[in-house]
A = this chain, B = another copy of it.
Amino acid sequence: MNPIKIIIAGPRGRMGREAVNLVTNTEHFELTAVLDHKFDGMMLSDLEGFQSIANVPIYTDIDICLQKIEADVLIDLTTPEAGPHHVRTALNYNVRPVVGTTGFSKEELQEFEELCKQKELGCIIAPNFAIGAVLMMKFSQLAAKYFQDVEIVEMHHDKKLDAPSGTAVKTAEMIAAVREAKKQGHPNEKETIQGARGAEYDGMHIHSVRLPGLIAHQQVMFGSDGQSLTIRHDSFNRASFMSGVKVAVETVMKHNGFVYGLENILD
């Protein structure tokens, strides 16, 4: 089997560095070039932290890169500004995009879907590549068909500004999509200190714990007569995203069409 030839856009970011590690350490993957906004014409091994990685040229212009370098997949881990142009261009050069960048507009998503059909290519955009987190959300949605009562407790380091976390809200949305809305708790329950029962989303309650030392954790708890079912994800570091990138690269080579969200390729 020939290795899958891969270009990484954004190799020096925190996710990008993990992706370079992933691609160069996976037997059937091959890193053929990187796209950066600096260092055109240099080699990746010239940059700090990449000294051991041989024969990977750096490009700043995606068109020139895709004309000169053979590639099956573009892994894009850049910015909302650069992302759309990268996806569009890659597809036009018959290269399949796997994208972790967020912030695409509805119009852009439709455009990519159309383009995938025309070109008969695969393209996967995923705001969250941590397979464990995506499975947690997926299982929660499945469980909600049998357990109407559910609460979410998410726990993060105390530098996080927003509460609840994006993953907690996404989980609640996915549950709300399949269960009849239900106002949980006792109809006459009373908060003796305001906020005790947490945030409410479609009748569910979400609780946000913030403590130094923690990283990113969430548990979804279901209860019914005499039992509870708990689904928990702990993310300890950024490496957790890479198992999802790997699955996405393998999937994008096998299945044509546009996919938004890792949950739609895990079955």
Contacts and interface: CB of A to CB of B under 8 A. Distances in A.
Interface stretch (A66-74, A104-112, A213-221): A213-221
B227 A236 contact: yes
A51 interface: no
A199 B194 CA distance: 5
A145 B131 CA distance: 11
Contacts of A184: 158, 210-211
Contact of A191 (B147, B163, B215): B163
Copies of this chain in the oligomer: 4
Interface stretch (A39-47, A77-85, A88-96, A136-144): A136-144
Interface residues of A, number: 78
B191 A198 contact: no
Given A190-B162, A247-B146, A229 B233 contact: yes
Contacts of A189: 160-163, 210
Given A195-B197, A230-B232, A231-B231, A213 B209 contact: no
Given A135-B143, A193-B200, A243 B224 contact: yes
Given A149-B212, A229-B234, A230-B233, 18 more contacts: A130-B227, A131-B224, A135-B146, A135-B229, A139-B139, A153-B153, A162-B190, A163-B190, A184-B211, A189-B210, A196-B206, A197-B210, A207-B209, A212-B224, A212-B225, A226-B236, A226-B240, A227-B240
